[in-house]
Every structure is written in C-alpha cells, then in structure tokens.
Amino acid sequence: MGYAFCTSECFGCHRIFSYNPMRVPSITSPYTNTREPICRECVERVNPLRIKNNLPPIVPHPDAYEPCNESELP
C-alpha cells in the first residue's frame, strides 16, 4: 500500500504546492477551460470576496492538502 499526492502550480498565486489529487479545490481556467488546482492560501484569500458577492465560500475537504491512499486513484 502506498500514498499519492500531486505537486503543481496554484492557478491563483503561481506558487508550487502539494495536494490530494482527488480532493483539492479547483477552478475552471478562463484561458484553457480546464480545471486547475488552487492552494489553501488562495482559498482563504478569495472566500471573503465570494461571500461579499453572495457566492458560497469554497470549503476544502479536510484531506485536500494531504496525500491520499493510492487505492483512491482512478
């Protein structure tokens, strides 16, 4: 049994971060129309603006930034 995580650039701040590939929050890129991961700091930064604009806050899964069991991968 093993564990897996992804490491890539955050769409919001462009910093490299690690995350659970099955549970990380993501947004649709307006440039490529693909889902792109966002880091915890960007989620915390954008939530007040979302609430102000009557949008629901992004609530990451508790394991969103932790490795996942390899059996969870497709």
The predicted model scores a pTM of 0.86
Query: How much is the mean pLDDT over the chain?
Result: 95
Cα separation, 74 vs 72, whole angstroms = 7
Rounded mean pLDDT of 45-70?
96
State the pLDDT at residue 1.
Answer: 74
6-9 vs 16-19, strand pairing mode: antiparallel
Structural domain boundaries, residue 7: 3-72
- How many domains would you assign to the chain? 1
C-alpha dist (Å) from residue 67 to 15, 23, 70: 18, 10, 9
